[in-house]
Structure 1
Amino acid sequence: MATRAAVIVPIVDDPGDVALQQHWRKAWSLSSLAGGADAWLDRAGFDRAPWLATALAGGIVAWFALPSPIAWIVAMAGCILLASATVALTRPGDDYVHLRRAVVAVALLISAGIALVWIRSVVIGAEPIARPQVIWLEGKVLERENQPAQQRVRLTLAYRDAEAGLARKVRVNVAPDDLDPGIAEGAHVRLRARLMPPAPPMAPGAYNFARAAWFAGLSATGTAIGPVQLIGSATPGGTLARRATHLVRPRALAARRLRRRHRRGICQRRPWRNLGRGR
């Protein structure tokens, strides 16, 4: 009958023992991985710049992904602590110089991305109205957008909310028949409108119009009720505005000529399409 020999566990530190060499193999693999990364960063040179932009964009994405300001602060603090610890552990003549610099730069840029979009949200973001309302508003036309396909004209207005004591920016859709042709950007108007707060996404992962309106500075959107009254016409711009108009006008003329040539080309090609229909 065969017998199995007992496994002998060595007590002394034998350099030739396989069990004792396993730990050193792992440490060697980790050091080789770090050395390979440092060598790759050294060879990359200026190709490392896109990774810095990616780190900044990652911080911006993290701001949108994290749920609350506390999470934003924790993420920023963690990145700053990681960069500080990396700098504190660096010694003169130490290996992996490029790897340590990359860790510091990426951590700081992620933190900067979170801070950048947070500051932009505070500075540009507009607080939405509390509830749907029908009000009379008097303000200045910031932008006029003609939408003939939808049979409407979209006006972006700036007005003073007396109840909240805030200057608000709203977007109102107006029927073409209710709008004076003389109303342009810069005109002062008065109208009655039905305003709604920007709508949140209808389903998880859907388009978040409330977030887009926040960064666009829109407090509400709605529809005009009745005609829009023109109080004051738009004042002509100064020297800079006139120069901008002179610069834009040649571009508009060139675009119009290109559209005409394109239409002529289509009209000339149409007879070739109808050759087979007469058979």
Structure 2
Amino acid sequence: MASSAAPARSTGQTPLQMTVLRHMGRVGSAVERWLEAERDQLPLWVPVLVGFGIAAWFWLPDPARWGGFILAMLSLALVAVATARGGRFARMVAIGSVAAALGCGVIWLRAERVAAPVLARPAVVQLTGEVRAVEPLPARGLVRVRIAVQAPQPMPAIVRVNVAEKDVPPGLSRGALIGMRAWLMPPPPAALPGAYDFARVAWFQRIGATGRAFGPVKVMRPGIAPAGDLRRRIAQHIRSRVPGGAGAIAATLATGDRGAIDDSDAEAMRRSGLAHLLSISGLHVTAIVGATILLSLRLLALIPGLALRVRLPLVAAAFGALVAIGYTWLTSAL
């Protein structure tokens, strides 16, 4: 009697393939469970992946590679969307790939927007331009001037020139129109791989040349920079009251003017890992605001009529906001 049982249908897969598929399914399920458990934290990875795209732009050497990276990320996103089966993993891959492509594209666009001519080779020129920034460097006996060049042409849009203190005329401030004879050179690249690359920094600041002025500087039109003048006067006052390196560091913390710090002190700060404290940042603003709010609360609480009728924390917070705006304006004015 013939058996009525039908033979098992073959799937066309070997036992090894079936084992691999089962393990992949288990891994996929585990990943989906982890993503579901961490769903509230997943958006925090978006800026990380944008940063990854920015880092890729710095690491890859030329525009062809940048475009290839962006296309690869967008292609990966399309593949993830096309193969999605309703889980979170495919959506995360798609969003992450788009974020990385966005990061690379944004920094590329930024680099193109700030692109400016760079001096091809060292030259001595007679230039005329408008002062964009003035930074005293008392420790070196110099004043660093950033100039938007008007003549001669063609020239880099912005140059940075060091002027000896004895050659600095009255009226040299932001907005002044000046003329000088200067030796200029292209911004120097990093001396060693991985070292500080001033040429890259200068590119994003649109500085196309650096150099030193020969002889006195002629002011054709005085500038008006009250914030910069106030900043320099405060720094000079602090240095006159607190001599030596301590005064230079105190002036830096109060005004953001780092020009008076001696090279040996700056090197010691770098070696000790404290150089970041000399750059005005949110840490300094927070400390100033916190001290202002605390002091305001204590002083206002000494007035009983005011303390009983007004919400002192709001008044103190208003004082803190005003101090934060003023401190930021002062330390960022050049």
Output the TM-score relative to the length of structure 1: 0.74
State how 1:1-279 maps to structure 2 within 5 Å. 21-90=15-84, 94-95=85-86, 97-164=87-154, 168-235=157-224
How large is the RMSD of aligned CA atoms in angstroms? 2.8
Call closer, same or farther: CA 1:162–1:138 in 2, change over 3 Å. closer
Asked whether the 8 Å contact 1:161–1:167 carries over to 2, the reply is no
Cα distance between partner residues in 1 of 2:143 and 2:40: 49
The runs of 5 or more residues in structure 1 that have no matched partner are 1-11, 238-244, 264-279
Amino acid aligned to 2:177? H
Cα distance between partner residues in 2 of 1:224 and 1:162: 15
Cα distance between partner residues in 2 of 1:150 and 1:33: 63
Cα distance between partner residues in 1 of 2:41 and 2:170: 55
Amino acid aligned to 1:39? R
Cα distance between partner residues in 1 of 2:27 and 2:175: 62
Q: How many residues are treated as equivalent by the alignment? A: 229
Amino acid aligned to 2:205? A
Call closer, same or farther: CA 1:69–1:119 in 2, change over 3 Å. same
Q: Which has the larger radius of gyration?
A: 1
CA shift, 1:55, in A, is 0.5
Call closer, same or farther: CA 1:68–1:236 in 2, change over 3 Å. closer
CA shift, 1:236, in A, is 6.7
Cα distance between partner residues in 2 of 1:82 and 1:192: 55
Matching residue of 1:272: none
Cα distance between partner residues in 2 of 1:163 and 1:188: 16
Q: Percent identity?
A: 32
Deviating more after overlay: 60-69 vs 81-90: 81-90
CA shift, 1:235, in A, is 4.1
SS of 2:38 mapped into structure 1: helix
Amino acid aligned to 2:179? R
CA shift, 1:125, in A, is 2.5
Cα distance between partner residues in 2 of 1:192 and 1:157: 13
Matching residue of 1:3: none
Amino acid aligned to 1:208? D
Amino acid aligned to 1:24? M
Deviating more after overlay: 150-159 vs 43-52: 43-52
Call closer, same or farther: CA 1:181–1:162 in 2, change over 3 Å. closer
Asked whether the 8 Å contact 1:201–1:207 carries over to 2, the reply is yes
Asked whether the 8 Å contact 1:127–1:214 carries over to 2, the reply is no
SS of 1:46 mapped into structure 2: coil
Amino acid aligned to 1:86? A
Amino acid aligned to 1:182? G
Call closer, same or farther: CA 1:161–1:27 in 2, change over 3 Å. farther
Cα distance between partner residues in 2 of 1:160 and 1:236: 20
Matching residue of 1:5: none
The runs of 5 or more residues in structure 2 that have no matched partner are 1-6, 248-334
Asked whether the 8 Å contact 1:125–1:216 carries over to 2, the reply is no
Cα distance between partner residues in 2 of 1:137 and 1:190: 6
Matching residue of 1:276: none
Matching residue of 2:286: none
CA shift, 1:136, in A, is 0.7
Asked whether the 8 Å contact 1:160–1:167 carries over to 2, the reply is no
Q: Taking CA–CA contacts closer than 8 Å with sequence separation of 6 or more, which of the two structures ends up with the larger relative contact order? A: 1
Cα distance between partner residues in 2 of 1:46 and 1:125: 40
Amino acid aligned to 2:46? L
Call closer, same or farther: CA 1:195–1:236 in 2, change over 3 Å. closer
SS of 1:67 mapped into structure 2: coil
Output the TM-score relative to the length of structure 2: 0.62
SS of 1:55 mapped into structure 2: helix
Amino acid aligned to 1:189? I
Asked whether the 8 Å contact 2:124–2:181 carries over to 1, the reply is yes
